[in-house]
Chains A and B, each alone.
Chain A
Amino acid sequence: MELLGIWIGAILTLGIFSFLYKDNPVYKVTEAIFIGVSAGYYAIVYFFDSIYKKFWLGAVVAAEKDLMLYGGAVLGLLFLSRLYSKTSWIARWPLAFIVGATAGLYMMTYFVTNGMNQVASTISDVAQKSDLAGSSWAEVLGTYVILVGVVTGLIYFFFSKEHKGAFGAAAKVGIWFLMVTFGASFGYTVMSRMSLLIGRMDFLLGDWLRIIN
């Protein structure tokens, strides 16, 4: 059984790799299997997670029934009104609930974490008089470079002011900073992804073909 599993895994692995040469029937079969099996898998996992664990155990068989959960079930059923085109407008109600509630939640979360707290971090990042004693000049300079980067980077994102003159120059410096960041994270990811490929090659050569180890 384990051997069969390895063979199936290896054949599917090769099927995906064949896509690198070109789109071909083997890849198409692999892709079709992947779509079907994964859609089924998640349907089952979500079913047991939300309908069974949350709703059935929480609101139907529990000793202390969470009656509020029925509200969710009703909204969910309303969503199914989309199956018939004449009633599909009803589905906007649960949708309005989801969009409204999450817009409210995210508005506050991002206001605090991406807005207010970032002001505090920017202030803390820049070297303060009290830190000067223990740091090298390069470190102190670095903190001012950070400040320049934040200021110019934000200036780049201004939409309602023309990028001209000193403002334009600042925006230009801002985009330099952005590009360095993008390069750095690209390089960083390149290096970490190589190990995934090594892992698959090891599976093919080791577990399947057994030519190594």
Chain B
Amino acid sequence: MKRQLPLLFVFLFGTFMVVQNFVPHENSERAKDFLNDWTIIIGIFALALGIWSLISVSIDKINKRKPNWEYAFVTLVGLVAMIFFGFTSNVSSSWWTYFASLIVLLIALWLLVQGILGFGAGATRSKEKFFAGIGLGLVFTLIAIFDKSWEFHFYTPEGLENTMFKNFFSNIMVPLQSTMFALLAFFISSASYRAFRARNLLASLLLIAALIVMLRFTPGPWGDLISKTSTWVMNVPNLAAQRAIVIGIGLGMVATALKVILGIERGYMGKG
């Protein structure tokens, strides 16, 4: 039951999708659309598990004073703040109650999670922490309900329009993302210096092809010849090898998928 039933599910759904491909009827298309929607909905529940993993690993780090535990606080604050911003919006003209609520929420969650984790580990005072957390959470909710300084948005997407949510995105996420991406320029150069050597025939082929293409993008006296050669390299040997790789990958995938459907490959269930 624990292992056979899932394998049966895999077989049934897998076969269904294979057969679906041959059936153009609209019922088959609708069924496929539903399976697609299901995958998306399952994904968000899984994300909750992921966030829980991030939180519990961070808290564990802090509690056990593992190396670099201080930074786990920063992660947790960033995470909770972003989720808070996403579900709420500030409706009063001043921001202080809004941010005060965020701090109350942080403390409440901290106590709550400490309490929950404490139950399992049998730590002292976990009950007290848990209930203190719930109490603070209640205070936090009451402010929202009665103070009218800010509000919840679980059922309307206005949270996405929250000013702070947007600011955090454009002033923190965007620069961090593009800077991280820009690091690639540095890594490429150090790799070129260290590893790009004509050690043997294969490495030399790689190096020569790379140099030809690089020269093409660097203005200089080589001009037309290099431009023609690099176009040839891209259109002839490159195309050929890409096709060989694509066919290989395709067959590898088809074989793996087939093994999964037939229940021969079960690595993903923990069993090899």
Contact = CB atoms under 8 A, between A and B. Distances in A.
Contacts, number: 398
State which size class the interface on B falls in: 35 or more
B49 A142 contact: no
Interface stretch (B97-105, B130-138, B141-149, B168-176): B168-176
Contacts of A75: 38, 41-42
State which size class the interface on A falls in: 35 or more
A95 B246 contact: no
Contacts of A127: none
Given A8-B171, A142-B235, A182 B206 contact: yes
Contacts of A41: 82, 86, 165, 168-169, 173
Contacts of A49: 40
Nearest to A106: B257
A38 B173 contact: yes
Contact of B160 (A44, A104, A189): A44
A205 interface: no
Contact of B41 (A13, A72, A121, A174): A72
B96 interface: no
Interface string B191-233: 0100000000111011111111110011000000000001011
A103 B260 CA distance: 7
Contacts of A150: 240, 243-244, 247
Contacts of B160: 44-45, 48
Given A16-B180, A96-B7, A186-B210, A39 B205 contact: no
B100 to A, nearest CB: 19
A128 interface: no
A169 interface: no
Contacts of B71: 28-29, 31-32
Given A17-B179, A41-B169, A197-B182, 13 more contacts: A12-B176, A34-B180, A37-B173, A48-B160, A83-B49, A95-B269, A106-B253, A110-B250, A110-B254, A121-B243, A122-B243, A177-B244, A190-B192
Question: Lowest 6 CB-CB distances: which A-B pairs, in order?
Answer: A114-B250, A149-B240, A36-B78, A153-B244, A40-B82, A104-B17
Interface of B: 2-3, 5-7, 9-18, 20-21, 32, 34-35, 37-52, 54, 68, 71-83, 85-87, 155, 157, 159-160, 165, 167-176, 178-186, 188, 192, 201-203, 205-214, 217-218, 230, 232-251, 253-254, 256-258, 260-261, 268-269
Interface of A: 1, 4-5, 8-10, 12-13, 16-17, 19-20, 28-56, 58, 68-69, 71-73, 75-77, 79-80, 82-83, 89, 92-108, 110-111, 113-115, 118, 121-122, 125, 142, 145-150, 152-154, 156-157, 174-191, 193-194, 196-197, 199-200, 203
